[in-house]
């Protein structure tokens, strides 16, 4: 059986560190969204593991929804995105919280925010588990309202994050050995 751990250079965040941060964020978000019945929008697919853990620490009634966005094929550098699957809830006048796995260049979040704002929610906030501010594209002024961990500029996998669709099921967040993506 292939062992995925051998491709990891360094464990950046252990399962314990991940869960303690989620508990901390959960207390803040529970207070923020008490009696607001928020729509919690997950941006697929990377967010699924964080999403499942996070919603169980938000201890107030809420509605779950998802969006799936992607870059136009063959246009990686242009940063043009499209909605592959939209939210199903009518979010007009609702309090919306976006959950994201990682805030990197900011292309995905900027696009998601613009898309959801056009539906006129009562409020729109962003909670990202990881933030890599060094990678932000010039011109992106968007900021996350809630951040789990700010991390250095390294390619990380696990806890939902992938490299070529692999490693999403690692229970921790690790830095991938460069030779894995250079080969």
Which residues would be at the binding site for ligand IMP (CB under 6 A)? 46, 101-109, 155-157, 161-162
Question: Whose Cβ is closer to ligand IMP: residue 13's or residue 32's?
Answer: 13
Nearer to ligand IMP, 8 or 94 (CB): 8
Q: Is 104 considered catalytic here? A: yes
96 vs 98, beta carbon nearer ligand IMP: 98
Which member of 7, 53, 101, 104 is catalytic?
Answer: 104
Tell the smallest beta-carbon distance from residue 80 to ligand IMP (Å).
Answer: 12
C-alpha closest to that of 121 among 36, 47, 57, 50: 36
Q: How many CA atoms lie within 13 A of 102 on its CB side?
A: 22
C-beta of 106: minimal distance to ligand IMP in Å? Answer: 5
Residue 95, Ramachandran bin (φ over 0: left; ψ between -120 and 50: alpha; else beta): beta
Helices assigned H by DSSP within the chain = 15-33, 48-55, 107-117, 178-182
Q: Which residues are catalytic?
A: 104
């Amino acid at each position: 059986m292939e062992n995925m751990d051998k491709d990891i250079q360094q464990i950046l965040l252990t399962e314990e560190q991940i869960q303690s941060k989620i508990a901390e964020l959960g207390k803040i978000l529970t207070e923020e969204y008490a009696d607001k019945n928020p729509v919690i929008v997950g941006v697929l697919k990377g967010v699924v593991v964080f999403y499942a853990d996070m919603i169980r620490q938000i201890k107030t009634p809420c509605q779950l929804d998802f969006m799936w966005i992607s870059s136009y094929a063959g246009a990686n550098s242009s940063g043009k995105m499209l909605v592959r699957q939209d939210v199903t809830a009518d979010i007009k006048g609702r309090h919306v919280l976006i959950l994201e796995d990682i805030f990197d260049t900011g292309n995905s979040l900027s696009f998601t925010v613009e898309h959801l704002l056009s539906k006129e929610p009562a409020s729109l906030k962003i909670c990202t588990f990881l933030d890599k501010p060094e990678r932000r594209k010039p011109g992106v002024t968007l900021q996350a309202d809630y951040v789990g961990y700010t991390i250095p500029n390294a390619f990380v996998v696990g806890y939902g994050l992938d490299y070529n669709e692999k490693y999403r099921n690692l229970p921790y967040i690790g830095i991938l050995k460069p030779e894995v993506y250079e080969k």
